[in-house]
Structures are given as C-alpha cells and as structure tokens.
Amino acid sequence: MSPILHSVSCPVCDGDVPKRLGLAETSEKTRDLGIDGVHVVRCFRCGLFYADPMPAWTVADLAALYDHDYYPAMTAWWENIRARVNPVRRLGALQHYCGSSISRFLEVGCGPGYALKEALRRGWQAYGQDVSPVASSVGASLGIDVFIGPLEQGPYADSSFDAVYLDSVIEHLPTPVAFLRELWRLLKPGGCAYIVCPNADSLASVFMEFWARLRSSDRSARICPLRPPYHVVGFGPHAMRWAAERAGFAVVQILVDKDYQTRRFSQRLMASRPPGLRAGLKQAGWTVVYWLGERAGRGMNLEAILRKPNTGGRSCCTSDFSR
C-alpha cells in the first residue's frame, strides 16, 4: 500500500478552521509503511470529524485493507441482528418512504450481502457493489451482479434505482458529499437512500477519546483512518444533515440507534468467558457506557433516510430531523 496524503478542507462544508484533537492511532500495517502524522480534526462549522492530511487509498490498497481478516467473528445473536433483523426493518422503512413499489435495488458496500438477500426475498431486482473481491463470491452465490470497484466507476446509468442501501460505508470515504451526489444521480426521482454509519458524537466515542488520551496524550481515537476499521470521516446528526442537503437530498429522517449496541455487548459478555477479572470488568464497563449513551440519545449508530426530490432538482428541504 502506498496512500498519498494530502491536506484538505472540511469534506462536508469546506470549512478551513478545524480543531485538532490529536494524531490518529496507527495499525501494524500503517506503521510498517511508515505512515504517521495524520491528525484527527473536527470542523467548527458543521461538526464533521475527519483525517488531515487525508489518506487517498488506491483500489489495490482498499482490496488489501478490506480482506477476509477485516470481517470479525460474531455471536449468534449479533449475526441474527445483522443478517435478518436489521435488513427486514430497514428495507421495510425504505419501502414505506419511497412511496411506490421498489423494483430495482442497489446495496453499496454489500459485503456479506445481508440486505441483498432480504431484497431478493421481497421480490426486488437486486444489485451489489463493493471494493473488496470478497463480495464477488456473495454475488455468485445469490445469482446477482456485484460490481467490484468504486461506485462512480460502476455500470449504472442515471436514475437506475428506486432505492439504495448502505451500511457502514460513508465513513470510509474521503469525499462524502461527492459520494452522496453519486447516490443522487443513481436514484430515480422520489427514490430513497438508507444510510447507516457510526455516530461520531456518541457517548461511547467521547469515552474512547478520553481513554486514548489517558494512554497517550498526543493520540485521538474519535475516528481511526490508520487502523481498522479505517474511518476517515465521522458523522454526527448535524454533519449528516449538512452533507445530505448539500448533495441535493431532502432529509426524511435521521435517527440514533437504540438498544442494539448495549445488547450486543451484553450478549458478548455472556457468551464468552473473559480471560481475567480485569478484562471482564473492562467489558462490563463499556456495556454500561453504551447503555448510558443510548438512554441519552447518543447511541453508537446513525440511520439516515434521504429522498431525491420528485422534480429531480437539488433540494435543501428537511421534512423531518430527529437528533
């Protein structure tokens, strides 16, 4: 891997007076390459967290970063949530807000293809896209087309899809507004995008930042551009609304997830025997942090439903916004 590092203004609002939070934490891969000196910053204007300088990964870099080892093992309970419960709920919301029958559906960053399977179950014509070759085997097993490569290089014409879904994708992209504009281009007028990403304003993220500072005064853990899961930008609700409206979408709804992360960590705690009292207490402590965050409306995930206006023109309207 040989990413190019370049200084950037805020990728959402073009603000150029960010607050530096600290150096980004590194991984073994990036340390071996001698990549360091990347700061985590926050935009004073829209609240986006981002890497500066920004790593520009090549397609080969992305394939290496998101290989088989990238996907962690899951408990049976969490796999059921990821593979069945969330796709059923979220695609049901897409069906409701699109306002018409969904025929053509695209999952961006399809990975293991959970949403693709649910789309096929609903009788939709499903397509997938990912940058990791791992996803091509998923497409073959489902009998659908999965394009491997950047979305903007895909074989999709304007207004190709009634609905687009992406889970844990936009936080990996150095130009999120340009990416949202690509989604806008792909959607038919009146079509909807369902976007899931981490909430960088979550209470747990604040605690992670504090914990990183305790371990090393010059490091920030708010986002992690140089270690898994390689997030180069971090959205809170305000930054997500700003980015969506700048790309021309009407914001239907932006919600903060409740319950899933707490229950996930509780299940993990019950399903495994910690390798010692200290590790067990640490795991239990994080479960409490997740629970407090969710009760305070500062849970770990954002879920945004965006609509392309029926007129086809860019819109700055917000039909509903929930912090």
Please indicate, yes or no, whether residues 250 and 131 belong to a single structural domain of this protein: yes
Q: List all residues 6 or more positions away from 271 whose beta carbon is below 8 Å from its beta carbon.
A: 75, 76, 77
Please indicate, yes or no, whether residues 218 and 150 belong to a single structural domain of this protein: no
3-state secondary structure of 277: helix
Residue 119 clears pLDDT 60, i.e. is over it: yes
pLDDT category of residue 316 using cuts at 50, 70 and 90: very low
Please indicate, yes or no, whether residues 49 and 136 belong to a single structural domain of this protein: no
* Closest to 144 measured CA to CA, from 98, 105, 87: 105
Residue 186 lies in a domain: yes
Structural domain count of the chain:
2
pLDDT tens string 268-278: 544 455 556 77
Structure tokens at 291: 């629970």
CATH code of the domain covering residue 131: 3.40.50.150
pLDDT tens string 76-85: 777 888 889 8
Please indicate, yes or no, whether residues 247 and 113 belong to a single structural domain of this protein: yes
Residue 273 lies in a domain: no
Residue 268 lies in a domain: no
Residue 285 lies in a domain: no
Please indicate, yes or no, whether residues 27 and 123 belong to a single structural domain of this protein: no
CA–CA separation, 302 and 5 (whole Å):
28
pLDDT category of residue 290 using cuts at 50, 70 and 90: confident
Please indicate, yes or no, whether residues 126 and 248 belong to a single structural domain of this protein: yes
156 contacts 134 by C-beta, under 8 angstroms: no
pLDDT tens string 154-195: 999 999 999 999 999 999 999 999 999 999 999 999 999 999
Please indicate, yes or no, whether residues 301 and 242 belong to a single structural domain of this protein: yes
* Mean pLDDT comparison of 75-79, 96-100, 187-191, 309-313, highest-scoring range: 187-191
Please indicate, yes or no, whether residues 153 and 113 belong to a single structural domain of this protein: yes
Residue 95 lies in a domain: yes
94 contacts 124 by C-beta, under 8 angstroms: no
pLDDT at 274: 53
CA–CA separation, 94 and 161 (whole Å):
12
Please indicate, yes or no, whether residues 24 and 155 belong to a single structural domain of this protein: no
pLDDT at 13: 97
| Count, residues in the chain | 323
Please indicate, yes or no, whether residues 128 and 178 belong to a single structural domain of this protein: yes
Q: What Cα–Cα distance (Å) separates residue 135 from each residue in 100, 116, 129, 156?
A: 29, 11, 8, 18
Please indicate, yes or no, whether residues 136 and 221 belong to a single structural domain of this protein: no
Rounded to an integer, the average pLDDT of 97-126 is 92
Residue 263 clears pLDDT 60, i.e. is over it: no
Q: What mean pLDDT is reported for the chain?
A: 84
Residue 92 has φ and ψ, to the nearest 5°, of -65, -40
Residue 168 lies in a domain: yes
Residue 282 lies in a domain: no
Please indicate, yes or no, whether residues 117 and 191 belong to a single structural domain of this protein: yes
pLDDT category of residue 315 using cuts at 50, 70 and 90: very low
pLDDT at 14: 95
Q: Domain span at residue 17?
A: 4-56+202-233
pLDDT at 317: 39
**Residue 216, number of CB atoms within 10 A of its CB:** 12
pLDDT at 321: 27
Q: With both helix axes pointing from N to C terminus, report the angle between 277-295 and 260-271 in degrees, rounded to the nearest 10.
A: 160
Residue 313 lies in a domain: no
pTM summary value? 0.87
